[in-house]
Amino acid sequence: MHTVSGGEVAGILVAVFWAILVSFLAVALARLAQTLRATTKLVADVTDQAVPLLADASAAVRSAQTQLERVDAIASDVQEVTSNASALSTTVASTFGGPLVKVAAFGYGVRQALAGRKEEDVPARASRRTVIVGRTVPAARRTKRTFRGKRD
Q: How many CB atoms lie within 10 A of CB 110?
A: 10
pTM across the whole model: 0.38
pLDDT at 152 exceeding the cut of 50: no
pLDDT at 5 exceeding the cut of 80: yes
Stated as kind and residue range, the H or E segment containing 124 is none
* Measured CA angle at 69 (ends 64, 75), to 5 deg: 120
DSSP state, 64? H
Long-range contacts of 107-116 (CB under 8 A, 24+ apart): 115/149
3-state secondary structure of 48: helix
**What pLDDT does 73 receive?**
92
**What are the tens digits of pLDDT across the range 12-55?**
999 999 999 999 999 999 999 999 999 999 999 999 999 889 99
**What are the tens digits of pLDDT across the range 46-91?**
999 998 899 999 999 999 999 999 999 999 999 999 999 998 888 8
